[in-house]
Amino acid sequence: MQPTFIIAGRITREFILPPVGSPLLDAAGGSALYAAGGLNVWDQEIGLLARVGEDYPRHWLKEIAARGVDISGVRILPQSLDLRSFIAYNEKFEITRGAVVSQFARRALAFPKSLLGYQSPPEARKDALKPDALAPLPIEIPADYREAQAVHLCPMDFVSHNQLFTAFKGRSVTTLTLDPSPGYMAPNFFRDLRVIVSGLTAFLPSEEELRGLFWGETNDLWEMAAALGAYGCEMVVVKRGGLGQLVYDVPGKRKWEVPAYPSRMADPTGAGDAFCGGFLAGYRKTYDPLRAALYGNVSASLKVEGSGAFYPLDVMPGLAEARLLALKELVREM
């Protein structure tokens, strides 16, 4: 299979304690898989670009491939890697802090042996200039991936984003989207952002990340989007969680507010990544920024209703299309 879409990011081993429903204990997850799941709602021919250790369960990779996702871009390093990721939510769907053991005790759940020795990762580096050992390298990109038409870069450090952006830009790729890491969305990094924002099809930050970048400068999200758009990207889309998205079309200076589809919340993990995957698929289908955001919005709405990166693929047939039609009527042009 010659992949049309490439998703570059992280693959992890997830442990999730949602406020409702059963916990997800030691399952395949990570930004790359959630984005692939969101894209797979609308399209196929997806290739994954990621790194895992030799101890990563091989049957998980086979299950991912069984979903029609090409895994030839997943490099298995000859060493063990701690890819565990733990998230617990309270009844308001907010991430809770505290010792991992106490999180299980609070819910009267047995502590899984596979989490022994786990420590929450430190806060993101503010300069983000040290490459993450788990971020894929340009040299690891398979030859056929370099001929793909559309690429999405999931959150990574600045150096890795810059290297992958350079590797893909100027080849057959005509659509390139990027979800920034909070580690470099800070005022002291604003000038450096031109390196990766210039030439992007779409820059896809969260509202929190965008406000962090413009801290002390302005509180107007549209002003922030316009300032980033001036760096040379075609679109800036602000992900706002339960509030939906703001879409700024840079060339036309058009602005839309898209509310989140009113779905049943069960597990918000990976919703932002699922949005990015759906957005990429939608843009390749329509080449329209607003309609692309609608596709992404629906992918996210399906993801939050259950746990697991590919949960959106297991819902009732036709549900995504029905939500897409309903959501069009709720958009507001600013």
pLDDT at residue 101 is higher than 70:
yes
Tokens of 134: 């788990």
| Mean pLDDT score, 1-29 | 93
Strand 202-203 and strand 235-239: pairing?
A: parallel
- Tell me the β-bridge partners of 72: none
| Mean pLDDT score, 315-331 | 95
List pLDDT tens digits, range 57-83.
999 999 999 999 999 999 999 999 999
> What CATH architecture applies to the domain 5-12+28-51+129-333?
3-Layer(aba) Sandwich (3.40)
Spatial distance between the Cα atoms of 36 and 38, rounded to a whole number of angstroms: 5
**Mean pLDDT, the chain, whole residue set:** 94
Instruction: Judge if pTM exceeds 0.75.
Output: yes
Q: What angle do CA 175, 179, 181 make, to 5 degrees?
A: 150
What per-residue confidence (pLDDT) applies to 119?
Answer: 81
Q: How does 150-164 read in b/e, with b if 16+ C-beta sit within 10 Å?
A: bbbbbbbbbbbbebb
| Mean pLDDT score, 297-325 | 95
Domain boundaries, the chain: 5-12+28-51+129-333
What per-residue confidence (pLDDT) applies to 123?
Answer: 53
| Mean pLDDT score, 304-320 | 94
| Residue 184: closest CA among 158, 203, 211 | 158
Cβ atoms 22, 306 nearer than 8 A: no
Spatial distance between the Cα atoms of 130 and 117, rounded to a whole number of angstroms: 25
| Mean pLDDT score, 129-144 | 91
- pLDDT: is 316 or 224 the higher one? 224
Tokens of 217: 């400068």
Residue 152's pLDDT band (boundaries 50, 70, 90)?
very high
Query: Percent of the chain scored above 70 by pLDDT?
Result: 98
pLDDT at residue 118 is higher than 50:
yes
pLDDT at residue 126 is higher than 50:
no
What per-residue confidence (pLDDT) applies to 122?
Answer: 60
List pLDDT tens digits, range 153-212.
999 999 999 999 999 987 789 999 999 999 999 999 999 999 999 999 999 999 999 999
Spatial distance between the Cα atoms of 26 and 118, rounded to a whole number of angstroms: 12
Helix (H, G, I), strand (E, B) or coil at 12: strand
Spatial distance between the Cα atoms of 124 and 236, rounded to a whole number of angstroms: 23
In terms of residues, how long is the chain?
334
pLDDT at residue 303 is higher than 50:
yes
List pLDDT tens digits, range 196-231.
999 999 999 999 999 999 999 999 999 999 999 999
